[in-house]
Homo-oligomer: A and B are copies of this chain.
Amino acid sequence: MAKREDKIGERISEAEHAVMEALWDDSPLTAADVCERVCEQRGWSMPTVKTLLSRLVTKGAVETEADGRRFLYTPTIARADYVGHESRRLVDRLFGGRPASLFAQLAESEALTDQDLAEIERLLKELRS
């Protein structure tokens, strides 16, 4: 049942997360590649991306592979794991660990469209089988 590398040790910050998204979207990437995909959108400059990448490497969320004189960066944790981890954190912190409460909250606060409801219904049906 080894449930897929569950090593999400140190917390990933907001800015670092943006970098992770780029890498999850496509990897390995060089620092320049990453910058190309996030710098404009976030108003960052290269040095910022370099720093974030280093920190992610230190945290063990990203690993490097030498390619001549530069590095290629690859995530070591799966996006699904990260996302699952963060979701559970939220559910624990705000909903006493009861996902149904989260759902109720989203429902009650308008946040669910008809499409969402339909999709959730479909998933529910699937889980029943």
Query: Which 4 A-B residue pairs are closest in the complex by CB-CB distance?
Result: A100-B119, A84-B109, A100-B116, A83-B94
Tell yes or no: A123 within 8 A of B by CB: yes
Mask of A25-61 contacts with B, CB within 8 angstroms, 1/0:
0000000000000000000000000000000000000
CB contacts (< 8 Å) of A103 on chain B: these are: 103, 119-120, 123
Subset of 6 A-B contacts with CB under 8 Å: A83-B95, A83-B105, A87-B90, A99-B120, A100-B115, A100-B123
Q: Mark A112-129, 1 if CB is under 8 A from B, else 0.
A: 100111011101100110
Which listed residue (B93, B98, B104, B106) contacts A17, Cβ 8 A?
Answer: B93
CB nearest to A89 among chain B residues: B90
CB <8 Å contact, A107 and B87? no
- Tell me, rounded to whole Å, the shortest Cβ–Cβ distance linking A56 to chain B: 17
Residue numbers of A with Cβ under 8 A of B are 17, 80, 83-84, 86-88, 90-91, 93-95, 98-100, 102-109, 111-112, 115-117, 119-121, 123-124, 127-128
| Distance in angstroms between the alpha carbons of A127 and B115 in the assembled complex | 13
The answer on a CB contact under 8 Å between B123 and A127 is no
Given A17-B93, A93-B17: A102 and B124 interface contact (C-beta under 8 Å): no
